Amino acid sequence: MVFSRSILLINTGGTIGMVKDAATGALRPVDFVHLYEQIPVLKKMPVTIDSYTFNPLIDSSNMHPGNWIRVAEVIEENYEKYDGFVILHGSDTMAYSASGLSFILENLNKPVVLTGAQLPLGKVRSDGRENLVTSIEIASAYEEETAVVPEVAICFENLLLRGNRTHKYNAEHFNAFHSFNYPALANVGLHIRYHTNYIQKPNFKALKVHKKLDTNLVILKLFPGMARQAVEAILNIQGLKAVVLETFGTGNAPTDEWLLSGLKAAINRGVIVMNVTQCNGGSVLMGKYHTSVGLQQIGVISGYDITTESAVAKLMYLLGEDLTRDEMMLLLQIPLRGEMTVGDEDRGK
């Protein structure tokens, strides 16, 4: 068989990479040296697959930005050698890691596909086999010498989604992920149908890996009756640089004077406050209702239709760069990796 494409499989951990130990009957991490024994159908694919395994393997609840950077380094070290990268990852924080990687990897011209499973590979009904095989097919899909999906994506069940648009919305279903504000990059069925209009175009520039992330930020999710003390304690955290303010609807918040003045004081100290809606779908539109006018007036910036996961990752990335406040403000309000849609542009709905 002629192998036309090569894939590096990076196993970070999570449910997918588990098989039943023949001796004990317990689930243990699969040894990808024996990948072809576990999934014989891979032998039929016109792809060579090498693997890199994290040691120890990580339940994704324990993934942190340092691990995202390590994944990015492995990609950087192997970028010329492979046509695409498939990352096995726990589903719980996959949307954060995918968002993080999309910002860390600038000028990405090759596919980086994250996948996982709700049931381990070692289980008879595992969704992991299909997810893995499909991810490998997508990561090795090229038209002539150009990757079909040159971006960070999540492949789960029957969808390929832009990584930084994705949210894990179901803890149980095989279809665990959704991208509420951006269409699927591909639908997986009898065929893999790529929606090329929605896929990033390659820019053929050299890959740039950003390895400094700053985690001095919080997510502040508003709820009716939230105590002043709690909000003030959060806004006065020492060293705080940014707040992802999860608001109601189109970016609305209680108009209590103490809330607005607390936020204003934080903004005046240099803290960035980014308005992201608690709704799964739709966009922040400050000024639409009276309950968001005050936020706009004190300098809260709009996250438009960005996900919370992506807002967190984008802030970590930009805070880690050596930027002036004006540069930072500008970059926060324009899409850098297709993570948000500004204004009333096509959200593919």
- Find the shortest distance in angstroms from Cβ 17 to ligand ASP: 9
Q: Which residue, among 227, 335, 242, has the nearest Cα to 283 in the 3D structure?
A: 335
- Find the shortest distance in angstroms from Cβ 162 to ligand ASP: 20
Closer by beta carbon to ligand ASP, 120 or else 150: 120
Closer by beta carbon to ligand ASP, 122 or else 294: 122
Residue type, 83: D
Residue type, 71: V
d(CA 154, CA 162): 6
Contact indicator for 59, 13 with CB cutoff of 8 Å:
yes
Residues within the interface to ligand ASP (CB under 6 A): 14-15, 59-61, 90-92, 116, 118
Closer by beta carbon to ligand ASP, 13 or else 251: 13
Closer by beta carbon to ligand ASP, 15 or else 250: 15
- Rounded to 10 degrees, what is the CA torsion of 129, 132, 137, 140? -150
Residue type, 318: L
* Catalytic residue chosen out of the listed positions 15, 134, 166, 341: 15
For ligand ASP, the nearest residue by Cβ is 90
What does the radius of gyration of the chain's CA atoms come to, in whole angstroms?
Answer: 21
**What would the two tokens of residue 299 be?**
């300098």
Distances in Å between the Cα of 328 and the Cα atoms of 38, 267, 271, 276 are: 47, 14, 12, 17
- Find the shortest distance in angstroms from Cβ 308 to ligand ASP: 17
- Find the shortest distance in angstroms from Cβ 215 to ligand ASP: 20
**What would the two tokens of residue 161 be?**
């989604």
For 97, how many CA atoms within 13 A lie in the half-sphere containing its CB? 31
134 is catalytic: no
Closer by beta carbon to ligand ASP, 59 or else 130: 59
**Backbone angles phi and psi of 209, in degrees to 5:** -110, 120
- Find the shortest distance in angstroms from Cβ 29 to ligand ASP: 11
Catalytic residues: 15
